[in-house]
Copies of this chain bind each other. A is one copy, B any other.
Amino acid sequence: MSVVLSSIRLGPQHAFRAPRTRLVSVLRAPARSLSAASAQPASPAKDSKRSGPASEQSVTPLSEDFSRWYLDVIREAQLADYGPVRGTMVIRPYGYALWERLQSWLDAALKEHGVQNAYFPQLIPMSFFEREAEHVEGFAPELAIVTRGGGKELEEPLALRPTSETIINSMFAKWVQSHRDLPMRLNQWANVHRWEMRTRPFVRTLEFLWQEGHTAHATPEEARAEAMAMLEVYREFAVTQAAMPVIAGRKSRIEQFAGANATFTIEAMMRDGRALQAGTTHDLGDNFSRAFGTQFSDAGGRLRHAHQASFGMSTRMVGGVVMSHGDDTGLRLPPRMAPLQVVLVPVAARGAAAAAVLAAVDAALVALRATGVRAQADVGTEKSPGWKFSHWEMKGVPLRIEIGPRDVASGTCAIARRDRPGKEGKEFGVPLAPELLVQEVLKRLDEVQAELLERATRFRDEHILDVSSHSQFLEVIEQGKWARGWWAGSDEQEVALKEESGATLRCFPLEQPGGGGTCFLTGKPADQVALFAKAY
């Protein structure tokens, strides 16, 4: 692991520390990532010709086997590896850097909204879960339980938090006394455990990282408004940063959070057509405040139960970015999420010309970094340019700048866009002069960001079909697409439909056509449409 992605620290949050050194960082290619599936020691890589295949970094084509493609990309781009305990995952630096991009944006957005960070203990007495009937029913089967501590059996077993509504309410019950204490808005960045049987890196693991916000309000209306406001924050993040055209909506009773009055979700479409629930917010009503006695005295001195909301987004989102944008040759990262936005590669620079090329690479690197662009130069001599191109394509770096002796002579360079593979995405003759180059790069980063979103939006819209009958529904789901239709079915009918088709009711989209229609299953009058899909 000799690639020091020092550029990762060059985000706006640390811009004040950006190093101004004019030294070209020497980058060497990383060793092959070893997943549990390929435990052979890596053999030293052979240099491939520029035009030759990059044998180290091949992945199963996305179109051939999406699931294998995903695992290959996770491994080859060194996003994650398997932990020693079944179902656990190690988030490697490149994957963690994506998470840090999310953290940085979301943390600022939550603080802007008045949410304060705090930290609550991970160990929750089992008895806490039992206070809220639906909650314990929903989470008990998934708990990891500590029964020994300090060499002794514990009197009461302790659960590792699967979510923190219970322990947070045990504290809110002490802190919330008066209407003047409300609203109370807390958030924590934490790990959680859910003992899942079928796991997949980032998407579903025994342990994952997330933020969980928990609020208390004086009225039911405020709690509902909070859940909606946080949903909009998540939607904004997904669309503007992750270039994921998610659909915001409300979950059905069957699918909502255990203990909530209503759950809201943003649903994303992966490139295999499956849905990914990418963030949820919950209107908890007074369910937990009644269970834990979270009460406040109102302006008239009467005791009332607080109304609450909670909301979470997790490392699952990293998997969402991978599965929303990747292609046959690896990751494609939206520039705003990319740990590394630009990689500079010297080409055909041997002998006397090498020094001039390296100086040009260095000057471009310094200019880009000074503007806050997360850039890195790959100047090692062990690997060929072709190997490097494949390597950084696999890692999804949005732009590659190539500089050779003739470029230096003509004061130009070539820029290749990751989102448009091959010649189509490569432009020659881009000016090398620092101010001009920076403008060209910033313009293209914006273009890549916008185009990934447009492409994903087109893909999404092509894969959502309106259905007006049961058979149409089954056909659409069978095609791996999403079915949208008027819905007035019962909970039981929803469950039966899931068992029959494998698709779940993803949400009632907030954007409704208006008016009413006829339920595609029951033929009854319906006042809203629902989205159904197979999901992760």
Contact = CB atoms under 8 A, between A and B. Distances in A.
A236 interface: no
A207 B177 contact: no
Contacts of A122: 191, 193, 207
Interface in A69-125: 81, 83-85, 88-93, 96-97, 99-100, 104, 108, 111-112, 114, 116-125
A34 B174 contact: yes
Interface residues of A, number: 90
A184 B193 CA distance: 28
A122 B5 CA distance: 25
Contacts of A84: 121, 124-125, 128, 167, 170
A171 B128 contact: no
Interface stretch (A146-154, A353-361, A395-403, A410-418): A146-154
Contacts of A16: 12
Interface stretch (A38-46, A243-251, A273-281, A513-521): A38-46
Nearest to A19: B112
A175 interface: yes
Nearest to A35: B174
Given A13-B14, A123-B85, A150-B195, A117 B144 contact: no
Contacts of A9: 108, 111-112
Contact of A119 (B157, B160, B209): B209
Contacts of A119: 90-91, 96, 99, 209
Number of copies of this protein chain within its complex: 2
Interface string A173-215: 0111110111010100011010111000000001101000000
Contacts of A171: 81, 83, 90
A31 B180 contact: yes
A174 B89 contact: no
Nearest to A195: B150
B197 A150 contact: yes
Nearest to A11: B13
Contacts of A33: 175
Contact of A85 (B2, B42, B93, B125): B125
B146 A118 contact: no
A93 B120 CA distance: 11
A145 interface: yes
Query: Which one of A19, A142, A171 has the greatest number of beta carbons of chain B within 10 Å?
Result: A171
Contact of A111 (B14, B143, B151, B175): B14
A81 B13 CA distance: 30
A174 to B, nearest CB: 5
A254 interface: no
Contacts of A19: 112
Contacts of A83: 120-121, 123, 167, 171
Given A123-B207, A150-B195, 4 more contacts: A1-B176, A30-B181, A31-B180, A31-B181
